[in-house]
Amino acid sequence: MKSPILSMAKQRFPNLLELHRTTDLTRWINQMSLSQKAIAASRSTEYLNDLNDEQRSAVENLDNPLLVLAGAGTGKTRVLTTRIAHILNMGRASSWQILAVTFTNKAAKEMKHRIAKLVGESAIEGMPWLGTFHSVGVKILRRHAELVGLQSSFTILDSDDQLRLLKQLLKVEQIDDKRWPARQLAGMIDSWKNRGLLPDKVPSVEGEGFANGKGVELYRAYQARMKDLNAVDFGDLLLEVLKLFQRHPDILKEYQKKFRYILVDEYQDTNVAQYLWLRLLAQGSENVCCVGDDDQSIYGWRGAEVENILRFEKDFKGAKIVRLEQNYRSTDHILKSASLLISHNAERLGKTLHTNIGLGDKVILQSVWDDEEEARTVADDIEQYQRDGISLNEMAVLVRASFQMRSFEDRFLTMGIPYRVVGGPRFYERAEIKDAIAYFAAMLNPSNDIKFERIINVPKRGLGDATVKVIHDYARAEKIPLMIAARQLVETEEIRPKPRATIRALLGQFEGWRGKLEELGHTQLAEIILDESGYTAMWQKDKSVQAQSRLDNLKELVRFMGEFENFTGFMEHVSLVMDAEVETNEPQVSLMTLHSSKGLEFDCVFLPGWEDGLFPHQRALDEGDLVGLEEERRLAYVGITRAKKHLKILFAQNRRVHGKWQSSLPSRFIDELPEANVDIQLGNSSGGGGYGKNSYGGYNAKGRQAEVFAGAYSGQKSAGGSPYDNYDAKNSASYYQQGGGKGWAKKGQSRQIEGKVTKVEIVESSFAVGERVFHQKFGYGTVEKAEGKTLLINFEKSESKKVIDRFVEKVDEPEAQGDLF
DNA sequence: GGGCGTTGCGTTTTT
DNA sequence: CGCAACGCCC
């Protein structure tokens, strides 16, 4: 039960502590420790009973550096959150004395949520230091900005802004950005920052490759320019804090003292800068607990160093290692497959995962003819699982590269299987959202040049390069923000009358909005800004397919703003948080890359595209050494361990690479799977036509399929009748192809049962021939044929396609858009 | 400033 | 092959 005294104290403390410095702080802590200890003694540690021995030791081991090697599905987050709860509960530290860092906002949110469940909401409110590396970085940096040459109101540049800035620099330096693309420079700078290198520290050879040795010089110029703009990029959020700590030991000490416990999630993903950052802070207490899994390190290419985790014992004196090897996620066949595969890696700390969930189904391996058959097979399996009663939410297709998604999307759309692409273009990365945000940022802060420049001519208002250049040059010469420069210039004849009037009007609008900041609610003001600026109108006029969804996104943005108290709160969130989840009630299959699947789990997982050159990717193979290949293998390991019950791996014999068909070989990873835990499945194609051609090969010999199959192909499939007819030829081709391969021997051959085709109720279509419709993927079109749920649509932007009616909206009726998406 | 043609490229992605 | 980014021309 919660003690009223404790929660009262907790509610009061944070503010006090944030205001007072060390002496007061220490006194407070000492006082608190006693009282908290007393309370703790009376509190139950019931939550410990839910843990296994290893987890428990990871939670209770509070007095030395600790590395928790947490295999996939072993309860990593549980350990992390319970440990925090335990620290609080035992009175070891108060919530604001715990630093807990994650990589993604999602992970941070999840942790908060779970801690709250353990110790109650009120305890979490006072956890200001639970967040991503970057959000913690901003927090620290804002407090001490002046010490690293910034004002605490600094703005955070996203990669778009960064690129625009670099392009400007290249122009100033008169470097041909064709030959030396800004992208490449950005990449170099990012990697230097990942490694914690300020311009002075960059090994001189490294900059030589760019623009005749100007690489480092440009890096320096870029940093200087950002200081002028009072801006930082993402890398700086770590690097500048590092600089701050190194140059101001007193401040470092303050934080070392403050953070009595440090916890790090996904330690295998830390880069050098993050590592140095942590090590500096951990020198205070030595009470650092890192949780991670070297076998799941898949971000080496963006600076993550597996070595950090491999070196842990050497880095932190007296460190202990706890291995979590009890897996609570997958069945035995799946786990054995993952384990044998990953055992082919040399550089690893080594773990042996075990499960007591049971054997379960074997991993299914299937060879298909091409990507279309692959998608068809997976889609058929998905429908089968659905009939077995598994929710679409519990199914996922995990691909190596995003181009693989297309054939799956096509297939899902024609079959009417609802799906979601996870990790696609993110909400805040869409142009319309960035534009809107730029308006808001420029309104709130007139010296935010980056944002102002973004929208000065969006929508087009006749302020071209020439005009912008005049303002720009003047602003730089006078060292004043663009908007101020513009304000002064409109009083002169520097700019031709027409654009001059336009700028004056624009500046006037901005001032008007700024003036309303007090009186109006922020969402209301946001709407006004988007309207008056002509931004909304710009998209309303736009005839392109995406225009409507862009407008919807803007609406959603404004709605979402309402969840924040004020404009600034919202903006701070926006600059750091790059995800906004679109909620849907409808179950959907998840489609995503292997990378974005890390941390997730599904009952049924499909891993298509296991071919050499695609997975492992050619780039990794070309590197020659094992480093790249081992990371690919870890990616495979991540993929396999996402599956709880059913796992299917597929490889195609032919794949289109850059438009050309190429025959491909099965991935070398396939031969690294344990034969005893894998079943080979024959193709779906028994070539016989009728329903048989799509017949489901059955999921191994456990016999459960027989019942399930009855009537399996009724419903929508027979309704439309023909969507599959086109595939006959190819189906039989693949059938014969597979005959010679691995595929023959085993059971689970396609049944010839035609399925009791239960009577299909042909629902009268709610669409009429000739009706105009809009489809999310294919755009506008006209109904050519309507049979039940299946429609044949003549699309304006592509050939006629068969689609399912639920993916289509009527164009003329405004009501129709309701709850479709 | 907008439209159109050419060119080059083509893993993985968070903050 | 498909697309995005750039440059050129009107």
In the structure, how far is the CA atom of residue A110 from the C1' atom of nucleotide B13, in angstroms? 20
In the structure, how far is the CA atom of residue A619 from the C1' atom of nucleotide B9, in angstroms? 15
Q: Which amino acid is at A721?
A: G
In the structure, how far is the CA atom of residue A458 from the C1' atom of nucleotide C9, in angstroms? 23
Q: How confident is the model at residue A773 (pLDDT cuts 50, 70, 90)?
A: confident
Q: Phi and psi dihedrals of A716, rounded to 5?
A: -60, -30
Q: What 3-state class would DSSP assign to A538? A: helix
Say if CB A652 and CB A400 are below 8 A apart: no
A402 touches strand B (CB under 7 A): yes
Radius of gyration of chain A (CA): 30
A699 touches strand B (CB under 7 A): no
CB atoms closer than 10 angstroms to residue A754: 13
More confident residue, A550 or A584: A550
Residue nearest to nucleotide B11 (CA to C1'): A401
Say if CB A290 and CB A267 are below 8 A apart: yes
In the structure, how far is the CA atom of residue A183 from the C1' atom of nucleotide B7, in angstroms? 18
Query: What is the spatial distance between Cα A504 and Cα A515, in angstroms, rounded to a whole number?
Result: 16
pLDDT at A54: 94
In the structure, how far is the CA atom of residue A526 from the C1' atom of nucleotide B10, in angstroms? 39
Mean pLDDT of A590-618: 96
Per the residue annotation, which of A81, A223, A296, A588 is the catalytic one?
A296
Say if CB A268 and CB A306 are below 8 A apart: yes
Residue nearest to nucleotide C7 (CA to C1'): A178
Hits for CB < 7 Å against strand B across A residues 181-210 = none
More confident residue, A586 or A251: A251
Q: How confident is the model at residue A775 (pLDDT cuts 50, 70, 90)?
A: low
DSSP-assigned states of every residue in A176-203? -TTTS-HHHHHHHHHHHHHTT--GGGS-
Instruction: Give yes or no: A815 in active site.
Output: no
List all nucleotides in chain C with at least one atom under 7 A from a protein Cβ. Answer: 1-2, 6-7
Q: Calculate the average pLDDT of chain A.
A: 81
In the structure, how far is the CA atom of residue A409 from the C1' atom of nucleotide C9, in angstroms? 39
A40-56 pLDDT, tens digit per residue, is 555 678 888 889 999 99
Residue nearest to nucleotide B7 (CA to C1'): A178
Instruction: Give yes or no: A761 in active site.
Output: no
Q: In what order do the strands lie in the sheet with A779-787?
A: A801-804, A790-795, A779-787, A772-775, A808-810
Instruction: Specify the DSSP class assigned to residue A726.
Output: G
Check whether A230 has a pLDDT greater than 60. yes
Per the residue annotation, which of A642, A645, A655, A789 is the catalytic one?
A642
Of A59-73, A152-166, A398-412, A789-803, the one with minimum mean pLDDT is A789-803
Q: How confident is the model at residue A783 (pLDDT cuts 50, 70, 90)?
A: confident
If residue A649 lies in a helix (H) or strand (E), which one and from where to where?
Answer: strand A643-652
Task: Report the b/e string of A639-653 with b at 16+ CB within 10 A.
Answer: bbbbbbbbbbbbbbb
Q: How confident is the model at residue A33 (pLDDT cuts 50, 70, 90)?
A: low
In the structure, how far is the CA atom of residue A480 from the C1' atom of nucleotide C10, in angstroms? 37
Residue entry with tokens 């050098």: A272
Q: What is the pTM of this model?
A: 0.76
pLDDT at A38: 60
Query: What is the spatial distance between Cα A236 and Cα A470, in angstroms, rounded to a whole number?
Result: 30
Q: How confident is the model at residue A565 (pLDDT cuts 50, 70, 90)?
A: confident
Check whether A495 has a pLDDT greater than 50. yes
A697-709 pLDDT, tens digit per residue, is 333 322 223 222 2
Residue nearest to nucleotide B8 (CA to C1'): A178
A333-352 pLDDT, tens digit per residue, is 999 999 999 999 998 888 99
Q: In percent, how much of chain A has pLDDT > 90?
A: 49
Query: What is the spatial distance between Cα A694 and Cα A738, in angstroms, rounded to a whole number?
Result: 16
List all nucleotides in chain B with at least one atom under 7 A from a protein Cβ. Answer: 1-2, 10-15
Say if CB A67 and CB A319 are below 8 A apart: yes
Q: HSE on the CB side for A643, CA within 13 Å? A: 28
Q: How confident is the model at residue A180 (pLDDT cuts 50, 70, 90)?
A: confident
More confident residue, A175 or A374: A374
Instruction: Give yes or no: A55 in active site.
Output: no
Say if CB A777 and CB A413 are below 8 A apart: yes
DSSP-assigned states of every residue in A408-476? HHHHHHHHT--EEETTSS-GGGSHHHHHHHHHHHHHH-TT-HHHHHHHTTSS--S--HHHHHHHHHHHH
Mean pLDDT of A223-249: 94
Q: Which residues contact A97 (CB under 8 A, 6 or more apart)?
A: A29, A258, A259, A260, A261
Per the residue annotation, which of A54, A161, A240, A266 is the catalytic one?
A266
More confident residue, A26 or A770: A770
pLDDT at A762: 43
Check whether A714 has a pLDDT greater than 70. no
Of A580-584, A612-616, A812-816, the one with minimum mean pLDDT is A812-816
Check whether A813 has a pLDDT greater than 50. no
Q: Which nucleotide is nearest to A131 (CA to C1')?
A: B15
A456 touches strand B (CB under 7 A): no
Check whether A460 has a pLDDT greater than 70. yes
Residue nearest to nucleotide B12 (CA to C1'): A595
pLDDT at A787: 73
* Among A113-127, A407-421, A638-652, A793-807, the range of highest mean pLDDT: A638-652
Query: What is the spatial distance between Cα A821 and Cα A817, in angstroms, rounded to a whole number?
Result: 8
Longest C-alpha distance within chain A, in Å? 86
Parallel, antiparallel, or unpaired for β A790-795 and A779-787? antiparallel
Residue nearest to nucleotide B2 (CA to C1'): A460
pLDDT at A177: 79
A178 touches strand C (CB under 7 A): yes
Q: In percent, how much of chain A has pLDDT > 70?
A: 79
Indicate the length of chain A as a whole number: 821
Query: What is the spatial distance between Cα A639 and Cα A563, in angstroms, rounded to a whole number?
Result: 35
Q: What 3-state class would DSSP assign to A69? A: strand
Say if CB A650 and CB A367 are below 8 A apart: yes
Hits for CB < 7 Å against strand C across A residues 652-681 = 658-659
Residue A91 corresponds to which tokens in the numbers above? 């009175």
More confident residue, A814 or A804: A804
pLDDT at A615: 94
Of A273-282, A492-501, A796-805, the one with minimum mean pLDDT is A796-805
Q: Which of A652, A649, A715 is nearest to A384 (CA)?
A: A715
In the structure, how far is the CA atom of residue A431 from the C1' atom of nucleotide B10, in angstroms? 23
